[in-house]
Amino acid sequence: MIRRFIFILFIGLQLGRVSAQTKTPDELYGQLFIDVQMQNVLKDGKTFVDCIPKRDPAKILEDYLKLKAAKTNFSTRAFVNDNFILPDTNTTVVTTANQPVAEHINQLWEALRRKPAEKIANSSLLDLPNPYIVPGGRFREVYYWDSYFTMLGLQVSGENETIENMVKNFTYLIEQNGHIPNGNRNYYLSRSQPPFFSLMIGLLAQIKGNEAYSTYLPALEKEYAYWMDQSAPTKHVVVMPDGSKLNRYYDQLNTPRQESYKEDVLIGQQTEAKNPEVYRDIRSAAESGWDFSSRWLSDGMQLKTIQTTQIVPVDLNCLLYNLELTLQKCYALQHDVVKEKQYQTLALKRKASIQKYFWSPKYSWFTDYSLKTKNQSPVLSLAGMFPLSFNLAGQKQAKLVKNTLQQKFLKAGGLVSTPLNTHQQWDSPNGWAPLQWMAITGLGNYGFHELEKQIAVRWINLNTSVYKRTGKLMEKYNVVNLQLKAGGGEYASQDGFGWTNGVLISLMKKYGYTK
């Protein structure tokens, strides 16, 4: 625990952080934290780490250890109830009979909005200066990549000020921590998420004009420095066999996640001897946003074979290519020819590497690259659509990808994340809003409008039919059997739900739906 704190402090100093963060829940509560998590006292491990103590944590821990030792019928749950304020998960909006889904979404923005508040002592929540939108359910803080897709819907709803406030918040997080963490909780500081910040700036520029590129250039530079190991040795950079540089996901810690402590400990007990980096691999999959998927599993099926840090992900590198292009545009607008050329060169090098290392003629698909096998991964996933989303594929490649998409991914309700059913939530039969959006965008870029619309219509119809049955919008959907809920993963499916709302209302506007 002490080594972990020292490491976080070191990283913080390296990234220029000047304000000390509140101790994380495991540091505050020691054995109480372990007992609550390992005994499933609150069922969902995320609940305890989001609790607010009613008094001094040191005194709470001292009293807990004394009472536990003295009482034979001691109730940990009763002790937690007496000493902590449990978080509220209610994001329910009451719908009127036959209320159009677009109206419901516009109401949901208010239910999911969080406003800045005074700092609460010993809370894991990181302060933000401006209002923001949370996903919903157990996800009661802002999340990095979720927010881009939420913003798409906010734009349709005319919530331009909210979009700008969220961009300002992410800039604040970069300034405070050197990067945008997974979410605004101190237990998320060791990792980021898929780097969509440059796309957020592009979206804001549609609203505010090109001044957005100048305003947020310093933040974009710091974001790039974090991923490229320039401001601290975060180990996100991988040197490929030809000497070129690409990127991977890499959490800065190798300990069980605090919000999923028991789940991680149990996996560690199965595999730690074979994979001493198992906790980092689990955490790094969380940094990818795809927690969890066959993408990261060496046998394609079992979580105990996770090897995230040995995978070079195609989607991450496409996002960083877009970040390089965005920085090129920023400096072009400032007439800084040297910097403009620098980022243009970096983007072109990455484009060549994406083609070299991710394109699989065997599968007619862009796949991840394995550092262990030194070859493309055999697991196909919707991450393979990202090169089309960013215009990185040739036209012939795009046509082959389109055919593979139709054959292996297209289902009655939209697209599955992967064709494999592993009981992990980022595999079949589940479909997720952000991946539908990226795939639809990619198809549109290459003129495949018929398939683009077909996927969009299937996704819209699935979302709206579930809404009519339940009055809710979900985190994810079963796109194979439209009568069943999405499942898998380590927590129950959540409703709310930020990115579903954003993608759905955006697609409805684009394709003229008014349901």
Catalytic residues: 291, 475
DSSP result, 361-381: TTTTEE--EETTTTEE-S---
Q: 310: which DSSP letter?
A: G
Which tokens in the block code for residue 198?
A: 């440059």
Q: Are 372 and 309 in contact (CB under 8 A)?
A: no
Phi/psi of residue 114, nearest 5 degrees: -125, 140
C-alpha distance from residue 489 to each of 251, 423, 427, 436, 494 (Å): 20, 7, 10, 20, 12
Give the per-residue SS3 of 157-198: CCCHHHHHHHHHHHHHHHHHHCCCCCECEHHHCCCCCCCCHH
**How many Å apart are CA 515 and CA 496, to the nearest integer?**
18
Q: What single-letter amino acid sits at 236?
A: H
CA neighbours within 13 Å on the CB side: how many for 97?
A: 0
The sign one gets for the Cα dihedral 433, 322, 280, 76 is negative
Instruction: Write out the H or E segment, with its range, that includes residue 324.
Output: helix 314-333
Q: What single-letter amino acid sits at 196?
A: F
Over the range 76-98, which residues count as b (16 or more CB within 10 Å of their CB) and which as e? beebbeebbeebebebebebeee
Nearest to 321 by CA among 338, 346, 341: 346
3-state secondary structure of 444: helix
3-state secondary structure of 244: coil
Angle CA 397–152–415, to nearest 5: 45
